[in-house]
Amino acid sequence: MLASNFNTIQNHFLLEETRKLVQLEIINQNQFEELEKKTITTKTNSNILLRIGFFILGNFLLSSIFGLFCLAFSFIENTRMLGACAFIAGIITIVISEFLRNQKYFSYGLDDSFIVSITLFFGIATSIFSENINCIFITIILTTAFTTIRYVHTPSILIFLVSLVSYVGYWAIIQKNISSFILALLFFIAAVGIYCIQLKISQYINYYIYKNVFFTAKIVSILLAYLSLNYFSVRELSKILLEDDFSKLQEIPLASLFYITTFVIPIFYIFYGLKEKERTFLWIGLLTLGLSFATIRYYHDYLPMEYALLLAGGILFAIVYFFIQKIKNNTIGITFKEDKSINPKAFDLIKVILVNAQVNTTVDTIQKDPVEFGGGGFSGGGSGETF
């Protein structure tokens, strides 16, 4: 199963990377506009507000279609008929999604509503025909996997991963004999597995069009790795699994270990992000470090709230001010300057698209000859018009 209109989607992402060539002054604006005219690309909404507007419009269309089916079969008082209507609506959304893809719509907003509704309608149909929670989870996982691969749909990978992790959690919770430590370790292994898989697949240039999908999977895996070993999440899971309402003074098993991981993982993210220049790890590390302090604050009140906020604000201001003064003028390493580097996996494809579009990227320069004939300016160069 391949992504539909593969080449046009690839051209869309390559044109985004080619804009950086203009910033680096490798090509000028006229050359980029010439390339843009000659390249067949997708119809995409770069304005997020317009995309949301078309998404809402698509939802209105879908609700009208589904309402029409329900009205047509309203005389049949059978719940399964509603499931049949949902199944037919799911097939219709697939047909419309294929039509929009053939018209080169990608991340336009209207197509997003139909793609997401594929999972919605088939999930509703499955829940009506079969009340088995396993069937519902499997349906959602399979349909989101299909829409992610077929339509290069980034929101679908988010739904896929959340459904997959939720299914693992559901399976573990119904097994009453599993401990909270094992469940936390299971989630952590799942997070590491997701991260390694996306990292391995993203290295292949053939899957470059899925770069946003891989980026979303990367963020989810990093957050899941932290949340799986966070003290708050483990404690709340222990309440569900052990069916025991812990008091704030009562600790869960292996509490010291989870206190350590609550702070060690964000610090590791920050240092790894700085060392490897990974902004994703850096930003998530800062976010999760704040959540770690909030976790400790939730269970242990060392200071009144107003003093804690003042102290935390003062410390953060001092740290941020110190580092800004240190790195604000750096041109290499950790810097505030704009990153104008080009994705190495995309660079070879950009060269191909430039050649195919026959865009001349060389700048013609006229070199002045140092030996000028006429005027007698050089020995043997000739004479001028005056004595």
pLDDT digits (tens, 9 = 90+) for 1-13: 555 567 788 777 7
Average pLDDT, the chain: 79
348 is written with which tokens? 């070879």
Q: State the average pLDDT over residues 43-63.
A: 88
- Helices 110-129 & 133-151 angle (0-180, nearest 10): 160
Give the model confidence (pLDDT) of 336-350 as tens digits: 666 555 565 555 556
Asked whether residue 37 is domain-assigned, the answer is no
Asked whether residue 197 carries a pLDDT value surpassing 90, the answer given is yes
Q: Please give the pLDDT value at position 159.
A: 95
Whether 112 is in a domain gets the answer yes
Question: How far, in Å, are 121, 132, 134 from residue 84 at the CA level?
Answer: 10, 17, 20
79 occurs within a structural domain: yes
Tokens of 205: 């240039």
Asked if residue 248 belongs to a domain, the reply is no
Looking at the domain assignment, is residue 201 inside a domain? no
Instruction: Note the pLDDT of residue 6.
Output: 75
* pLDDT tens sequence across 140-176: 999 999 999 999 999 999 999 999 999 988 887 776 6
Tell me, what amino acid is at 324? Answer: I
Residue 130: give the domain boundaries: 42-169
| The residue type at 186 | L
Average pLDDT estimate for 228-237: 86
Please tell me the predicted confidence (pLDDT) of residue 232: 87
Grade residue 123 by pLDDT with cuts at 50, 70 and 90: very high
- With 80 as the cut, is the pLDDT of residue 194 above it? yes
Structure tokens, 114: 């139909």
Structure tokens given for 113: 């509503």
- What sign has the CA pseudo-torsion 222, 224, 229, 232? positive
Partners of 105 in the β-ladder: 43
Looking at the predicted structure, is the pLDDT value of residue 377 above 60?
A: no
pLDDT value at residue 370: 52
For residues 210 and 194, give the distance between their C-alpha atoms in angstroms, rounded to a whole number.
15
Could you give the C-alpha distances from 196 to 112, 142, 227, 369, in angstroms and in order?
28, 21, 18, 60
Per the model's pLDDT, the better-predicted residue between 29 and 203 turns out to be 203
pLDDT at 268 over 70: yes
Supply the pLDDT for residue 64: 85
Instruction: Tell me the three state secondary structure of residue 75.
Output: coil
Task: Tell me which H or E stretch contains 194.
Answer: helix 180-201
**Sign (positive/negative) of CA torsion 162, 168, 171, 173?**
negative
Q: What confidence category does residue 364 fall into, taking pLDDT thresholds of 50, 70 and 90?
A: very low
Does 366 score more than 70 pLDDT?
Answer: no
pLDDT bin (cut points 50, 70, 90) of residue 71 is confident
Answer yes or no: is pLDDT of 36 > 60: yes
Give the total residue count for the chain. 387
* Domain total in the chain: 1
Q: Does 316 reside within a domain?
A: no
Mean pLDDT of 45-61: 89
77 or 313: which carries more pLDDT confidence? 313
Q: Of 139-148, 223-232, 242-251, 261-270, where does mean pLDDT reach its minimum?
A: 242-251
Q: Which pLDDT score is estimated for 34?
A: 75
The CA radius of gyration of the chain, in Å to the nearest whole number, is: 29
User: Is the pLDDT at 293 greater than 90, yes or no?
Assistant: no
Confidence class for position 387, pLDDT limits 50, 70, 90: very low
Average pLDDT over residues 33-42: 77
Residue 42 near residue 106 (C-beta atoms within 8 A): yes
**Helical H segments across 229-304, by residue range:** 231-242, 255-276, 279-299
DSSP string across 342-381? PPHHHHHHHHHHHHHTT--------PPPSS--SSS-STTS
pLDDT computed for residue 138 by the predictor: 94
Mean pLDDT along residues 199-209: 83
pLDDT in tens, 92-103: 999 999 999 888
Q: What is the mean pLDDT of residues 295-316?
A: 76
pLDDT at site 46? 80
Residue 352 lies in a domain: no
CA atoms within 13 A on the CB side of 281: 14
How far apart (Å, rounded) are the C-alpha atoms in residues 247 and 226? 24
Check: CB of residue 102 under 8 Å from CB of residue 42. no
What does residue 369 show for φ and ψ, rounded to 5 degrees?
A: -70, 125
pLDDT score, position 189: 93
Which helix (H) or strand (E) segment holds residue 146: the answer is helix 133-151
